[in-house]
Structure 1
């Protein structure tokens, strides 16, 4: 009997934890934490483990809070779409009040953790939550320009790590911000291409032309080119203390060109498979590019 009760408790905890991961979008949050830590390593003169842990915790809370607010606001629309109807709130596994409690708690804890690192870091974290929740989320059903608004908080994490390490904002974190800012467009437009039919059910306007057409694919190509250009700029001495060796720049350029090939394939074929491959290539690019930057600094 005790064993059965214990099993039920374990199962209940597992379900609650699974919903917590879903409401905070754990995979997205972990990728954001990775970007933040990469930025910290690039900016730091010496690595402080306590600061890294605070940044990781604060970064996770920042993203988790934003996603929880987002799912509260969009709960009725999420119920209309196949990919989101099983989220905790529309599926009825979590109340709006519980989701809001999670969002508010994570906001407070995240801003506090980032404030301990530096007030500037906390400020950028708070700005990120505000823009994602109060600008990007409501604009998604109004205009495709929502992607532009969403690209701002989406680009903050890479920059945030540098600011956390230096308590300074200048050309270096600005460059990191611009790299990830331009990366957002091909990444999310590829995702929007794949999910266009589902997004329509929720009334979301994610593609720049509103269609899976040559105009959207061409813009993906152009933003990918800008991303590549900015990603290799640190090799030419324009970005202060943020430096990239010519060998590392060559690797970053090669990674970018691979992504650009997938963008051209989408322009040529205009199908969901090409969009999926581009989306996966973009995820690989941002991760590998950040690793190249960090490794290049320390070798």
Structure 2
């Protein structure tokens, strides 16, 4: 998802500049893609290293490489540092220094703010959405060299999208999360907040998703597509809001997984074949 959201930001940026991908050197594009891949792999590995003892307690994560003993914790740490370093270096030297800073900020916020909060407060979901929404800003900076309101709209889309996405996961694996000591809005006393968060952030995501047309970086085809996808997302969210069970949670989760890639694909189709 990091690669998709980074590319979304980059592609929207070149649309803003009225340029095409061909105006960028191949090494630049390759470095952008590889930088996003390496950085995300690095953060995932380092997070697994930090949470290895907790991952062992949960069925969902106990078979990951470090908790299962497939690789040692030291090897996981080295791999995570190496991947993160390569990703940051690619951004810094071959793409854009601002993109590298955004990537570094994502790493710090995710590993040292969000990860510790998982066992302290259910607000961790909201906090974690901040680093999770940064990649499109890095992509936008790679294309334009500066942040603008359009970039922050992409940030807002991804921020809002994460809440129903991760709350659906939290419901499906609520027993696992309890074993690991993670604080989530899935207990009986917090179910009202759970429902409210899904409703509010689904509404906000749909609203933010139509703004690219309003600010001139997308057209009417994208607008119609975003509205149709948004309605599907809304009804999937309402299913879990009205009835909390494995089926409704899995429907919402699948909807969230397909939403962003489809939105990006339809945006690219519009820019290349319709406008």
Do they fold alike, i.e. is TM over 0.5? yes
Given candidates 135, 150, 158, the residue that maps to 2:128 is 150
Given candidates 233, 236, 239, the residue that maps to 1:265 is 239
* Match in the other structure for 1:40: 10
Distance in 1, Cα, partners of 2:145 & 2:130:
20
Higher relative contact order (CA closer than 8 Å, sequence separation 6+)? 2
* Match in the other structure for 2:88: 111
> SS at the partner of 2:66?
coil
Distance in 2, Cα, partners of 1:120 & 1:206:
33
Distance in 2, Cα, partners of 1:295 & 1:162:
19
Contact 1:162-1:173 at 8 Å conserved across structures: yes
Runs of 5+ in structure 2 lacking a partner? none
Distance in 1, Cα, partners of 2:113 & 2:41:
17
> Would the alpha carbon gap of residues 209 and 81 (structure 1) be closer, same or farther in structure 2, given more than 3 Å must change?
closer
* Match in the other structure for 2:185: 207
Contact 1:192-1:206 at 8 Å conserved across structures: yes
* Match in the other structure for 2:100: 122
Distance in 2, Cα, partners of 1:211 & 1:260:
24
Measured after TM superposition, the shift of residue 156 of structure 1 is 1.5
Contact 1:159-1:177 at 8 Å conserved across structures: yes
Contact 2:133-2:158 at 8 Å conserved across structures: yes
Measured after TM superposition, the shift of residue 43 of structure 1 is 1.2
Measured after TM superposition, the shift of residue 68 of structure 1 is 1.0
**What are the superposed Cα offsets for residues 214-249 of structure 1, whole Å, 9 maximum, x if unpaired?**
431232011100000011012223xxxx52212321
Contact 2:199-2:237 at 8 Å conserved across structures: yes
More displaced stretch, 157-166 vs 105-114: 157-166
Measured after TM superposition, the shift of residue 295 of structure 1 is 2.4
More displaced stretch, 251-260 vs 202-211: 202-211
Aligned length: 265
Distance in 2, Cα, partners of 1:226 & 1:209:
24
Measured after TM superposition, the shift of residue 161 of structure 1 is 1.3
Given candidates 50, 70, 82, the residue that maps to 2:27 is 50
Given candidates 201, 214, 224, the residue that maps to 1:250 is 224
* Match in the other structure for 1:13: none
* Match in the other structure for 1:227: 205
Given candidates 57, 64, 70, the residue that maps to 2:41 is 64
Distance in 1, Cα, partners of 2:129 & 2:181:
20
> SS at the partner of 1:244?
coil
What TM-score, normalized to structure 2?
0.91
Contact 1:214-1:270 at 8 Å conserved across structures: no
Distance in 1, Cα, partners of 2:145 & 2:187:
40
**What are the superposed Cα offsets for residues 59-117 of structure 1, whole Å, 9 maximum, x if unpaired?**
01111111111111111110100011111112112111111111111121111101121
> SS at the partner of 2:112?
helix
Given candidates 150, 173, 176, the residue that maps to 1:172 is 150
What RMSD over aligned residues (CA atoms) do the two structures have, in Å? 1.6
